[in-house]
Amino acid sequence: MRIPCPCCGARGNEEFTYLGPAGLTRPAPDASEDAWHAYMHERENPAGMHRELWWHGQGCRAWIVVTRDVRTHRIEHAALARDPEAAR
C-alpha cells in the first residue's frame, strides 16, 4: 500500500505503524466503566470506509488519520491527527 502522508507524500506502508480506529474519544478519568470498556475494546470494525491511525515512524513521525475502504484498500483521505480538521 501507499500511504499519502500529508508531510512526506505517498510512501510505502512499511514505513508506517498502524494502531487502529481514529476518532475514539478518550473518556474522562471519572467516566463510567462502560465508557472505558467501549473506548478500549469495543470496535465497530466495519467492512467499508474506516478512519484509522497510522504513525509515520520511519518518516516524519506524524500520526495520520487515514480514511480507507478496508474491503478494497482504496484510500480516500489522509490528514494529520493533530490537525483539528482531521479530527472531525
Partner 1 sequence: MTTVHGTAQPFRLAAGGLIDRTQLLSFTFDGRRLTGHAGDTLAAALLANGIHLVGRSFKLHRPRGVVSAGPEEPNALVELRTGARREPNTRATTAALFDGLAAASQNRWPSLRFDAMAVNGLFAPLFAAGFYYKTFMWPAAFWERVYEKLIRRAAGLGRAAEAPDPDHYEKAHLHCDVLIIGAGPAGLMAARAAARAGARTVLIEEDERLGGRALAEAMEIDGMPAARWVEAVEAELAAAPRCRILRRTAAYGLFDHGTVGAVERVADHLPEPPAHLPRQRAWRIVARRIVVAAGAIERPIVFAGNDRPGVMLAGAVRAYVHRYAVRPGRRAVVFTAGDDGWRTVSALAAADVDVVAVVDPRPDIPPALRAEAARAQAQVITGTVVGTVGRHRLAAVDWRDARGEVTRMQADLLAVSGGWNPSIHLACHLGARPRWDEAARGFLLDTPPAGVTLAGAAAGRGTLAAALADGLAAGVAAARDCGFSPVPADPPRAEDEPRDGIALFHVPGHGKAFVDLQNDVTADDIALAHREGYRSVEHLKRYTTLGMATDQGKTASVPGIAIMAELTGRGIEGTGTTTFRPPWTPVAIGALAGPHRGRDFRPTRRTPTHAWAAAHGASFVEVGPWLRAQWYTRRGETRWQETVAREVRAVREAVGVCDVSTLGKIEVVGPDAATFLDFVYANTISTLRAGRIRYGLMLREDGFVLDDGTVARLAEDRFFITTTTANAGRVMQHLEHAHQVLRPELDLAMLSVTDAWAQLSIAGPRSRELLAALLDPGTDIADGALPHMAATSGSVGGVPVRLYRLSFSGERAYEIGIPPDYGTALMERIMQVGERFGVTPYGTEALGVLRIEKGHPAGGELNGHTTAGDLGLARLVSTRKECIGGHMAKRPALADPDRPALVGLKPRDGRSDIRAGSHLLSPGAAETSDNGEGYVTSACVSPTLGHPIALALLRRGPARIGETVRVYDALRGGDTLAEVCAPVFVDPEGGRTRG
Partner 2 sequence: MRYSALALIRGALTGQRHWTPAWRDPEPKPAYDTLIVGGGGHGLATAYYLAKEHGITNVAVLEKSHIGSGNVGRNTTIIRSNYLLPANTHFYEKSLQLWEGLEQDINFNAMVSQRGVLNLYHSDAQRDAYARRGNAMRLAGVDAELLDAAAVRAMVPGLDMENARFPVKGGLLQRRGGTVRHDAVAWGYARAADRRGVDILQNCEVTGIDVVQGRVVGVQTTRGPIRARRIGLAAAGNSSRVAAMAGLRLPIESHVLQAFVSEGIKPALDTVVTFGAGHFYISQSDKGGLVFGGDIDGYNSYAQRGNLPVVEEVMECAVALFPAFSRLRYLRQWGGIMDMSMDGSPIIGTTPIEGLFLNCGWCYGGFKATPASGWCFAHTIATGAPHPLNAAFTLDRFRTGAVLDEKGAGATPNLH
Interacting residue with partner 2 among 28, 29, 30, 47 (CB under 8 A): 47
Minimum distance from CB of 13 to partner 1 (Å)? 8
User: Rounded distance, CA 19 to CA 3, Å?
Assistant: 14
Within 35-74, the residues that bind partner 1 by CB under 8 A are: 36, 40, 53, 55, 57, 61-63, 72-74
The CA–CA distances, whole Å, from 64 to 46, 67, 70, 81 equal 19, 10, 16, 5
Q: Three-class SS of residue 40? A: helix
Task: Choose the binding region for partner 2 from 18-26, 57-65, 80-88 (rule: CB under 8 A).
Answer: 18-26
The CA–CA distances, whole Å, from 85 to 12, 20, 65, 80 equal 24, 19, 11, 9
Which residue ranges make up the site for partner 1 (CB under 8 A)?
1-2, 10, 12, 17, 19, 22, 26-27, 29, 31, 36, 40, 53, 55, 57, 61-63, 72-75, 80-82, 87
